[in-house]
Amino acid sequence: MTLSVRIIPCLDVTDGRVVKGVNFTNLVDAGDPVEMASLYNAEGADELTFLDISASVAGRETTLDVVRRTAEQVFIPLTVGGGIRSVEDVDRLLRAGADKVSINTAAIQSPELIADIADRFGSQVLVLSVDARRARTDSGFEVTTHGGREGSGIDALGWIEKACALGVGEILLNSMDADGTRAGYDIGMISAVRAISHVPLIASGGAGALSDFAAALDAGADALLAASVFHFGVHRIKDVKNYLSSQGYPIRALRA
């Protein structure tokens, strides 16, 4: 059975507000996370991703209050990431209403955290967020940390293979080079990750034209995450779904 393509708006949150920039810089205010979550839920989003992009940098936990209020407004799967450093952090987020958690910096610092979370809660709750950029590594892609601010020197494909073996259930692949540019997803990066990983793959970074969404699917993505094109009204979720449906991709029907 062919699974439906998932369309996932992303709320990058800092100081309780949704922000968006280019390559994680020059951030501008895009709105209230709870209001936006409610809107996207009503518009037919298949899932929602909430990333506290300053949590790891500031060394603090994701704002549980905002997560709780967001979870109260949505009736679709909610993934939350940012500042998760322990199994206890995951437990708190799940109790606050998250369905899945996304980890990045802490997993790189302590890979055993992946196995610990998967063993306790199951792989289905664990998303590995990979903020990757083109660099001089074996594969040509390097993992960055701390919200894309710091290079790690770690080869992205090697890291993804290791993380999958440890138990991650899904990969959120964000191209730092394409992020916020609306110039298209990084097709080469998506194809390279698809070739070495069989867990579901969410493509992120660079969505602009409607054809960009189809190109990412053709490269091997299972789900499509976008932020600025939705936040600033370039496309509505229904536009993306209707376009993909017209091109023959299986999508979940919009709710009446």
At what angle are helices 33-43 and 64-73 packed, to 10 degrees?
30
State the CB neighbour count (10 A cutoff) for residue 136: 7
- Residue pair 132/142 in contact (Cβ under 8 Å)? The answer is yes
Helix (H, G, I), strand (E, B) or coil at 229: helix
* CA 199 – CA 16 distance, rounded (Å): 32
Query: Is 12 among the residues known to form the active site?
Result: yes
- Residue pair 185/205 in contact (Cβ under 8 Å)? The answer is yes
Query: Is 32 among the residues known to form the active site?
Result: no
Counts of helices then strands in the chain (DSSP H, E): 11, 12
- Find where tokens 């660099």 sit: 135
* CA 42 – CA 226 distance, rounded (Å): 17
* Catalytic residue chosen out of the listed positions 52, 131, 212, 222: 131
- Listed residue (51, 47, 45, 44) closest to 30, CA to CA: 51
Residues belonging to the active site: 12, 131
